[in-house]
Homo-oligomer: A and B are copies of this chain.
Amino acid sequence: MKLYDFERAPNARRVRMFAAEKGIDLDLVSVDLGVREQMGEAYKAVNPRQQVPALLLDDGTLITESVAICRYLDEIKPEPTLFGTGALGKAKVEMWHRRMELEGMQPTAEAVRNSIEFFANRALAGPLDFEQIPALAERGLKRIDLFHELLEEHLTDNRYVAGEDFSIADIAGLIAIDFGKLVKKRVGGETPHLKRWYDEVSVRPSALA
């Protein structure tokens, strides 16, 4: 299995961290988004959607979309559990994972891609160019603050995002927060419960994968 990857890409990091938690070694192939290598013909032939991450199986099947790759890895190596246990446990992980994505990763991506010079004309990933929308960047910044507030409140009574156990929701939450550093949003002393959780998940070996 080869993972087409880029070290600084948040969605690629989600998959690397998930795989590290599972103890799955992936053969990493770096696609240098820093020089727009994903837009070249060579990578287009691998993944016509021109995004990373993408998992190429030994039989030539390509799986794209970070969470779809994580699901695949979870199916081939169910332990440790990162998608929850039992009907309610799985629903809870899905619910909190979605919140980390919809209220964390998505607004952060909007803030970053619609404001930073590197993403000029590249406000969305993929084969087509889209202009930056400054109002969307501004809304994203406000929503990152709300996201930190949401987590601060929630983590007052919960060790991890989905409750007692570390899960894929923590991975998405951590990566959303780290992604926000690009627009100068950081976790600090004013959100002590969030900071407790952030410090704890940041030192897991998988966070460096």
- Chain A, residues 124-164, CB within 8 Å of chain B (1/0): the string is 00001011010110010000001000000000000000000
Taken together as a complex, chains A and B put the C-alpha atoms of A67 and B146 apart, in Å, by: 22
Contacts of A139 in B (CB 8 A): 130, 133
Given contacts A133-B135, A135-B133, contact A88 B72 (CB under 8 A): yes
Contact residue among B91, B98, B99, B146 (Cβ-Cβ distance under 8 Å from A72): B91
Beta-carbon contacts of A66-85 to B below 8 Å, as 1s and 0s? Answer: 01110110011000000000
Q: Which of B75, B128, B131, B135 makes the CB contact (< 8 A) with A91?
A: B75
Question: How far is A99 from B139 in the complex, measured between Cα atoms in Å?
Answer: 24
Whether the Cβ atoms of A98 and B136 lie closer than 8 Å is no
Which residues of chain B have C-beta atoms less than 8 A from A102's C-beta?
A: 65
Interface of A is mostly: helix
A69 to chain B, nearest CB (A): 7
How far is A95 from B69 in the complex, measured between Cα atoms in Å? 8
Chain B residues with Cβ below 8 Å from A133 are: 133, 135-136, 139
Given contact pairs A63-B92, A67-B94, a sample of 16 additional A-B residue pairs in the complex whose CB atoms are under 8 Å apart: A61-B88, A64-B95, A67-B98, A68-B91, A68-B92, A68-B94, A68-B98, A71-B90, A71-B91, A72-B88, A75-B87, A75-B91, A76-B87, A135-B135, A135-B136, A136-B136
For the complex of A and B, the 5 pairs showing the least CB-CB separation, nearest first, are A75-B87, A68-B95, A72-B91, A68-B94, A65-B98
Chain A residues with a Cβ under 8 A of chain B: 57, 61, 63-65, 67-69, 71-72, 75-76, 86-88, 90-92, 94-95, 98-99, 102, 128, 130-131, 133, 135-136, 139, 146
